[in-house]
Amino acid sequence: MSSGQRLDHPLRFVPHMRDAVWGGHRLAERLPWVPAGSRLAEAWLVSGHPTAETPVAHGPLAGRRLSRLIREFGTDLVGTRHADTVAQGRFPILLKLLDVDEWLSVQVHPAQGDGRHETFGKTEMWIVLAAEPDAELILGLKPGTTRADIQQAGPSRTLTHWLQRHQVRAGDTFFVPAGQVHALGPGITVLEVQETSNTTWRMYDWDRPLRPEQPRPLHWRQSLACLDTAVAVSNPVVPRPETWQGLDASRLITCPQFAADLATVAAGESVVAEGDPTTCRIMVVLEGSLGITAAGGSAELGLLDCCLLPAALESFTMTGLEHSRAAWVHLP
């Protein structure tokens, strides 16, 4: 299956940028690859979704997209535990940044793909990167809310009476299983980790005026079909302290779709990490800057830069160019 080239170095990707009516300007102020002053709703950092696959940015594999990498390298890319991913041909998780200036629609995602356009459902999580003082989000139903309450409210502002609001602070983590109603509010920037799906069923869109050039239809029937009124998830998530590769770390989420940790590297500290042939890892720098060096190449990563470490890597070295904190996401 291999093309003769080796997956012996970290892979960086060209982000895919998207705007929406709710997009903001904070990412343009923080990221050198976002045009100054532009509004940006989403930056897809690592994506194997066919509507927006992110190509490799540098090195001998530059320009190749994740679907081609899976075809060429198979489990050397994703890990020996994930032969099913190779058979499906689609990378199972997607990482993106969201910059929110207006309420996102009240929405819900299905637990399974439709077998045609979408291979996966859409369970997701958010790591809050920035939040204004009064920022809040919607996640889940208020205790005691029934399906009949939701049906009676309909796709109107009355619906929001039954929805649970959460105050948001930078550093919070929220877990959003498929079927749980949710909406990000104004003044929030997040790193989102999700299954590779672009299916969103809108329940309510805050009575925004219709724009023919940017239609935002509601999907009431589909929403009710996948809405889980029984789901009960404790949010925000309480991190669990642990040690990873000798570093101070914390486990944020473990679910069947993905797992996520935070790890800190001190300025000037170098750590040799063992590879894991059973799975790949994606790293996103949340604070500071890091160097990643492997047998076949290296990468210097600044704020909100990311890279994919293939399962074939036997080891790699992390060096804190500054005091750094990074999110590490892997396939369980």
The pLDDT assigned to 95 comes to: 98
Q: What's the token pair of residue 218?
A: 């509601």
Q: Which candidate in 65, 202, 251, 325 is catalytic? A: 202
Same domain, 204 and 173: yes
Residue 214 has pLDDT above 70, yes or no: no
Q: Does 142 map to a domain?
A: yes
Q: Distance between CA atoms of 8 and 91, rounded to whole angstroms?
A: 19
Q: Does 10 map to a domain?
A: no
pLDDT in tens, 31-66: 888 888 889 999 999 999 999 999 999 999 999 999
Q: Does 234 map to a domain?
A: no
CATH number of the domain where residue 313 is located: 2.60.120.10
- Tell how strand 93-100 and strand 42-46 pair up: antiparallel
Same domain, 307 and 218: no
pLDDT in tens, 119-142: 899 999 999 999 999 999 999 999
Q: What is the pTM of this model?
A: 0.95
Same domain, 102 and 166: yes
Same domain, 213 and 322: no
285, 322 Cβ separation under 8 angstroms:
no
Residue 89 has pLDDT above 60, yes or no: yes
Boundary of a domain, candidates 226, 248, 271: 226
Same domain, 89 and 170: yes
Same domain, 49 and 174: yes
Same domain, 209 and 246: no
Boundary of a domain, candidates 226, 251, 267: 226
DSSP 164-225: EEEE--TT-EEEE-TT--EEE-TTEEEEEEEES----EEEE-TTPPP-TTS-----HHHHHH
Boundary of a domain, candidates 226, 248, 267: 226
Same domain, 76 and 39: yes
Same domain, 191 and 278: no
List strands edge to edge, sheet with 270-274.
270-274, 315-320, 290-294, 297-301
Residue 157 has pLDDT above 70, yes or no: yes
Residue 114 has pLDDT above 80, yes or no: no
Q: Does 214 map to a domain?
A: yes
Q: Distance between CA atoms of 325 and 332, rounded to whole angstroms?
A: 22
Same domain, 178 and 280: no
Range of the domain at 296: 240-330
The pLDDT assigned to 244 comes to: 83
The total number of structural domains in the chain stands at 2
Q: Does 9 map to a domain?
A: no
Chain-centre distance of CA 60, in angstroms?
A: 26
H helices of the chain, where? 26-30, 66-73, 75-78, 83-88, 147-153, 220-226
The pLDDT assigned to 172 comes to: 97
Q: Does 312 map to a domain?
A: yes
The pLDDT assigned to 116 comes to: 62
Give me the chain's average pLDDT, please. 93
Same domain, 111 and 67: yes
Residue 157 among the catalytic residues: no
Q: Does 1 map to a domain?
A: no
Q: Does 4 map to a domain?
A: no
Same domain, 182 and 272: no
